[in-house]
Amino acid sequence: MNEKLPTIHSDYVFKQDDFPLSIHLNPGHPDYPMHRHEFEELVIIKEGSGINSVDGMDYPLQAGDTFLIPRGRAHAYSRMNHLTCYNIYFDSRQFDLKRWVTQALPGFHALFTVEPSYRRKKEFNSRLRLDMEQLLRIWNLAESMEQILAEEKPGFRFIALARFLELTGLLSRYYEKAAHSDSLKILRIAKAISYMETCFTEDITVEHLAEIAHMSPRNFHRLFLAATGKTPTAHLIGLRVMQAAHLLSSTSQSITEISFVCGFTDSNYFARQFRGLMNESPSEFRKRTVWDRPHES
């Protein structure tokens, strides 16, 4: 059924293929049938009301509501009543947002990773709702980004991206201040994810992550899996392999050295895990990526 849904493609919203960031002011947002995108959509509600339906759940909308629609997620809008919002479209894969902001901002994981996943599994019913002061600040940033992208003056991509990063950073901070009980649970998982992405080369146990999240190991394991689709161990291995891939293509360190630097204690185990995730051995990956790398003059 999901495969038959209308899909909005990237080339419809992004003017440049190599700059996947766009913003649209939607005054008097109309009802819109179930659909999905090839990119992420950040929605910021300024005024009005309506219903946002995601994966069979209806969420009432009001001023201050701010939420992410993940790539490929089926959603619709109905019973819209004088609703004004900004829709910010972006592709996080090309911007690599997590590498830039998540180490110091657990709220980023809460808003952009954990909350949408829990919403899909109906674990929680929580969204970020900005107060008037927060909404005004975020709205001003969105307006500035819209103007920058529309004028296309020299350097507009760089400046627009800076506005977007500032906006997402502020939203991440605001989520950390949320007092809703479900938001607190989501933030606890997000803090554990943030810790993993900061300290993935260290000896990390599920028990320690559960302590960070203030949960029992069993409950933490269940909720982590619901949030990310992976076990804590699988997520940790993925982080280590991604770092190893970066080092393989950008340094002359030996494969054994890289395996230890990235937190693996056994180079053979590292090689198996790398192949399992990357579909090639570390040595094959290094040969391919070094060969593809542009030669310096």
Does 42 lie in the same domain as 114?
A: yes
Which CA distances in Å does 115 have to 125, 182, 190? 9, 9, 9
Does 155 lie in the same domain as 84?
A: yes
Confidence band of 145 (pLDDT split at 50, 70, 90): very high
Does 253 lie in the same domain as 114?
A: no
76 exposed, middle or buried (CB, 10 Å; 0-12, 13-18, 19+)? middle
Last residue of a domain, one of 135, 164, 179: 179
Distance separating the N- and C-terminal Cα atoms of the chain: 53
At residue 26, does pLDDT exceed 90? yes
Does 31 lie in the same domain as 142?
A: yes
Does 243 lie in the same domain as 170?
A: no
Residue 144 inside a domain? The answer is: yes
Please compute Rg for the chain using Cα positions. 21
Do residues 168 and 101 touch, judged by C-beta distance below 8 A? yes
Does 50 lie in the same domain as 169?
A: yes
Confidence band of 294 (pLDDT split at 50, 70, 90): very low
Does 153 lie in the same domain as 80?
A: yes
pTM of this structure: 0.72
At residue 213, does pLDDT exceed 50? yes
The model's pLDDT over 1-21, given as tens digits with 9 standing for 90+, comes to 445 778 888 888 887 767 899
- The CATH number that applies at residue 102 is 2.60.120.280
What letter would DSSP give residue 37?
Answer: E
Chain-centroid distance of CA 53 in Å reads 20
Mean residue pLDDT of the chain comes to 85
Does 240 lie in the same domain as 173?
A: no
Instruction: Estimate the crossing angle of helix 232-250 against helix 181-199, to 10 degrees.
Output: 40
Do residues 51 and 77 touch, judged by C-beta distance below 8 A? yes
Does 37 lie in the same domain as 169?
A: yes
Helical (H) or strand (E) element with 85 = strand 75-90
Does 165 lie in the same domain as 253?
A: no
What letter would DSSP give residue 48?
Answer: E
The count of domains in the chain is 2
What letter would DSSP give residue 104?
Answer: T
Does 174 lie in the same domain as 63?
A: yes
168: domain range? Answer: 2-179
Residue carrying structure tokens 């309506």 = 50
Residue 297 inside a domain? The answer is: no
Residue 204 inside a domain? The answer is: no
At residue 130, does pLDDT exceed 50? yes
Residue carrying structure tokens 């808003």 = 111
Please list, residue by residue across 129-154, b when 16 or more beta carbons sit within 10 angstroms of its beta carbon and e when fewer do.
bbeeebbeebbebbebbbebbeeeee
Q: Retrieve residue 276's tokens.
A: 């399992």
At residue 297, does pLDDT exceed 50? no
Does 59 lie in the same domain as 165?
A: yes
Confidence band of 193 (pLDDT split at 50, 70, 90): confident
Residue 89 inside a domain? The answer is: yes
Of 26-30, 112-116, 135-139, 284-288, the poorest mean pLDDT is in: 112-116
